[in-house]
Amino acid sequence: MSPAQPPSPHSDPASAALLAALRLQLEWGADEALLEMPADRLAARPQPAAPASGAAAPPADPIPTLAPSPAPARAPARRAPPPAATLIPALRDAAALAAAADSLDALREAVRGVDTPLRDTATNLVFADGNPRAPVMLVGEAPGADEDRLGRPFVGVSGQLLDRMLASIGLDRTQDDPARAVYITNILPWRPPGNRNPTDAEVNLFLPLVLRHIALVRPRFVLMLGGVSAKALLRRREGITRLRGRWHEVAADPDQGLEMTPALPSWHPAYLLRNPAAKRDSWTDLLLLRRSLDGEALST
């Protein structure tokens, strides 16, 4: 006679219900048996009652201790943007560096010396391009990936479009003849991570150096490309849609008695690549610039 077999879990209703509950918990991701409440390892343990006189006290159970696990290796963290409390000294340093620069070479080194987290994520300083004796100075917003790689402003796809736009009114950044040349720079000399828009703090930090840049070059006209450039140089809150299409004035260095420089806001070439219909507005702005150049040439 064969020995009696234990009942199958599938034939026992109670066991089948437990197995079904376990399968459901596994499907939900509950694959560890834990207590209902976390154990407080720092709480004081209840002391056993004092033994009767003459009786030996039982040895106390040692409190188990857990060895601290080694901290995981971390990649070196990038410098976070400076807190607001440190911005005022940084602004003072940038203004002092700008005031002390008496040439474009000195200004380049001053820009390089500004303490900013942007230096940690960028590859190259993007200072300027073109002929500094040109009558027109273009001021963009910030370098992109191509500009950061080559260390020159407006060399990517938007820069190629800008070169074609300038050529349509007889201007070229590579010209030795100042009358046909342009000079190009940006508000920020370092590429923001991920090509993000410049922050107000970053713009304010480098603005004294940009104004010093204009004061050293002393162009007859400034063409501001994009809302960041226009609002920073004009100290205006309006967007580029309201600002473009008419002349404004930029005070490069009123403390030194420099005259106000006529400044014209226009669309950034990168915006024109995304919105080709706006090229008509930019063409109108370029014609306005060309007429001003021609009128000044006739008057002199």
Residue 53 has pLDDT above 60, yes or no: no
How many whole angstroms separate alpha carbon 224 and alpha carbon 140? Answer: 6
Phi/psi of residue 162, nearest 5 degrees: -60, -40
Edge-to-edge order in the sheet of strand 136-140 = 129-130, 182-186, 136-140, 221-225, 261-266, 248-250
Q: Quote the DSSP letter at residue 128.
A: -
Asked if 195 and 147 count as a contact pair (C-beta separation under 8 A), the reply is no
Q: Which of 60, 219, 67, 59 is nearest to 128 (CA)?
A: 219
Q: Which of 236, 146, 228 is nearest to 187 (CA)?
A: 228
Two tokens at 208? 């004294």
How many whole angstroms separate alpha carbon 274 and alpha carbon 285? Answer: 18
Please, what is the angle between helix 157-167 and helix 279-299, to 10°? 40
Residue with more model confidence, 170 or 66: 170
Asked if 263 and 249 count as a contact pair (C-beta separation under 8 A), the reply is yes
How many whole angstroms separate alpha carbon 243 and alpha carbon 261? Answer: 16
pLDDT tens-digit series, residues 280-292: 999 999 999 999 9
% of the chain residues with pLDDT over 90 = 63
C-alpha angle with apex 133: 129 to 136, nearest 5 degrees?
A: 75
Buried b / exposed e across 185-196, counting CB within 10 Å, b at 16+?
bbbbbbbbeeee
Model confidence band, residue 99 (pLDDT cutoffs 50, 70, 90): very high
Q: Quote the DSSP letter at residue 259.
A: P
Model confidence band, residue 201 (pLDDT cutoffs 50, 70, 90): very high
Residue 83 has pLDDT above 60, yes or no: no
Asked if 240 and 226 count as a contact pair (C-beta separation under 8 A), the reply is yes
pTM over 0.75: no
Q: Which of 114, 161, 179, 118 is nearest to 143 (CA)?
A: 118
For residue 233, give every residue at least 6 positions away whose Cβ sits within 8 Å of its Cβ, in sequence order, or none: 139, 207, 210, 211, 222, 224, 250, 263
CATH (residue range 85-299): 3.40.470.10
Two tokens at 84? 């607001």
Two tokens at 24? 């459901």
pLDDT at 215: 95
To the nearest 5 percent, what fractions of the chain are helix, strand and coil? Answer: 45, 10, 45
pLDDT tens-digit series, residues 134-143: 999 999 999 9
Q: Which amino acid is at 221?
A: F
